[in-house]
Amino acid sequence: MSKKPDGYSNIVECPYNKAHQIENGRRFQTHLIKCRREYEKCRTLNKVQCPFNATHLINEPERQHHVENCPDRVIVDKFRMPVVDSIQALQRADNIKMIPQNPLDDEEDWDNDAPTQAYDPQKYCEANNIIRQCHGMQPSERKAFRKQEHLRLGDIRKTK
């Protein structure tokens, strides 16, 4: 096994072109995308992606061997089949407390509430100090509306 010189421990070899040496991480993933485009133009062997790590690209004939020996497979296997000490598992089972389910005794019943009037924005605007606009009226109607609004707002200001 060859030892990498200082400062080159994070360098990875491109699976498409062995001459490409890239820093592992985000740069490597970006390089794989760009290199894949070029590789697909002059493809000789079909490359497949490892199911455990997207940066592992291997030749189709070597796929099964890689899947069995992939270093990232350990992460998935630990998640699928966690190793638990049987004594610890039994102790945890005793600590679980079952909380009985009680039906909710809620005093609120929206079906029996008294019917209330829905909110009417026009009615609210007429009763408060809000300037209304007129849309789609003839000039004479608009003039009468503005005059009526002026009187309405004057009355509201006097009462408050």
Residues 124-151: tens digit of each pLDDT: 988 899 888 888 999 999 999 999 999 9
pLDDT value, residue 105: 64
Query: Helix, strand, coil shares of the chain as percentages rounded to 5?
Result: 45, 10, 45
pTM above 0.75, yes or no: no
pLDDT value, residue 1: 46
Using CA atoms, how far apart are residues 141 and 125, in angstroms rounded to an integer?
19
Tens digits of residue pLDDT in 96-123: 566 666 666 667 777 888 888 889 998 9
Using CA atoms, how far apart are residues 100 and 25, in angstroms rounded to an integer?
50
Per-domain boundaries in the chain: 10-43, 47-84, 121-159
